[in-house]
Amino acid sequence: MNKQDFTEFAKLSPFELKDKLIEIATSDNQRLMLNAGRGNPNFLATLPRWAFLSLGDFAMRESERSYSYLDSGFGGLPEHEGIVQRFDAYANHHRPADGVRFLRSAISYVKDQLGLDQDAFLFEMVNAFLGCTYPTPPRMLLHTEEIVKAYLAQEMFGAVPPNGSFSVFATEGGTAAMTYIFQSLRQNKLIRLGDKIAIATPIFSPYLEIPVLNDYQLEIVDIRMDQNDDWQLPEAEIAKLLDPSVKLFCIVNPSNPPSTKLSDAVIDQLATLVTKQRPDLLIVTDDVYGTFADDFVSIFAKCPRNTLCVYSFSKYFGATGWRLGVIALHDDNVFETAIAALPHDEKLLLDKRYASLTTEPRTVPFIDRLVADSRAVALNHTAGLSVPQQLQMALFALNGLMDREHRYKNAAKHLIRQRYQTLYGHMGIKAVHQENDVNYYSLIDLQEIGGSLYGPEFKAWFVKSDLGIGFLFRLAQETGVVLLPGNGFEVVDTSARVSLANLTDIEYAAIGKFTRQVLDEYNQDFLKNMVKK
């Protein structure tokens, strides 16, 4: 495969390029492919899943109570009255089961810590498992929302006290959340064709790809993180947000792929700028990896009026197949302020759009417009994430809330950070963990590593020869290792993204060894080239 073969793939999304790399990596049947290109974790939370299964057993018994005289596999809707007492009787016969113990603790927790009615909570959960009623309210089940709000407050706010209340919309993963947000921003005239939006880069590639679609045609202002300062945002880059024509700021925090959280100082700088100089700025923060960080505080906590927060349960709980995400928005927010300030003729158009929902469409909150727009408004009454999914989401959130000693969190963080050390150790590179590092992903800076190993002349040759994509194909072809290109995430240096979540420690040792092997081969190419000159 020659260089020209590589260049034709350079403009592909990194996730589409991955498929081509996998094809090459699997071409040798005698070799095991090591795919570290996608961040699907190989670990998961077991307790909330046992709870789901135990609740399912109880829920089926509750259903069969309604029509127990019919011996035909026939069930009915569960009864609200006395449901906790019936569960207690059930639990007394299933004491050793992990799921039952979890559920007993959860029923106690929601009453004592969240002030929820135990019977109403359990009734909602039983119905959710059975999936026998539409999601009501469509945005999110009532008790599930309160549980998830408590979980988000714990994980996203840190030591920052909540400033006012916020609402949550359950979505089909973080990807659906992204889709719905851009749709509703456009439908409600908060972004228009040709508008400027700022994006903190490097970033998850769809945030770069969605705004330039014909549906949006947005102009992107690059807010560049500083690689030499642990991927923080410099003051000069933050200052670009002072431009009043920048309508929206999108950020993934902790970042993807550098996997570094914004420092407290940077978060405070952003909050000061927004509060004092850009109170109209709309912010979308994607905090999927926040639960892997130490002492994480979201922009959502520091800029409550301006921020839509996206969170997914997929990575932390090992639940990518469940498709569990949320959008959170404070009840007092600038999105609604901006809608209220629209010209009269545009308000009339929005009145017409949401007229089927209420006789007073202007009172529909923006988060409920997100729900309606997700189902083309007309199908708002059947909107909402499936209720079994919402049940598992609630159980995941309760797992996080009730784990007072952070055993699961500490185990997850230790696992990925050990893999980070293993990867770089087998490249012959000393890996240093910095304060804001998360390590769910790592950017292997090929040109910097090459320069440190073989000298500045090799680094200059590697960059000039544009070997980034070629390195990935060579790595896949020779060793069966699949990584993603850093430039697909708007990384300047020639680099490769490796997920530290989805393989074993010994496999990351192999990736480190093979990465060094291919770099050594490139150095031999460089030395031969120098001899010819």
What's the pLDDT score for residue 7?
62
Strand segments (E) across 173-306: 196-201, 219-224, 246-252, 282-286
The strand pairing partners of 39, in sequence order, are none
Main-chain dihedrals φ then ψ at residue 283, nearest 5 degrees: -125, 135
What's the pLDDT score for residue 498?
93
Q: Is the pTM of this model over 0.75?
A: yes
Q: How many CB atoms lie within 10 A of CB 272?
A: 13
Cα separation, 158 vs 295, whole angstroms: 6
Residue ranges per structural domain of the chain: 3-31+407-532, 47-133, 142-389
What's the pLDDT score for residue 5?
54
What's the pLDDT score for residue 533?
63
Residue 382 contacts residue 128 (beta carbons within 8 Å): no
Sort residue 471 into left (φ over 0), alpha (ψ -120 to 50) or beta: alpha
The candidate with the shortest Cα–Cα distance to 16, out of 206, 214, 236, is: 206
Fold classified for 142-389:
Aspartate Aminotransferase; domain 2 (3.40.640)
DSSP notation for 319-355: -TTT-EEEEEEESS-HHHHHHHTS-HHHHHHHHHHTT
In this predicted model, what pLDDT tens digit does every residue of 135-187 receive, in sequence order? 999 999 999 999 999 999 999 999 898 889 999 999 999 999 999 999 999 99
**Side chain identity, residue 53:** L
Q: In the chain, which stretches have pLDDT less than 70? A: 1-8, 10-11, 533
Cα separation, 167 vs 374, whole angstroms: 17
CATH architecture of the domain covering 3-31+407-532: Alpha-Beta Complex (3.90)
Looking up tokens 């495969």 gives: 1
Fold classified for 47-133:
Histone, subunit A (1.10.20)
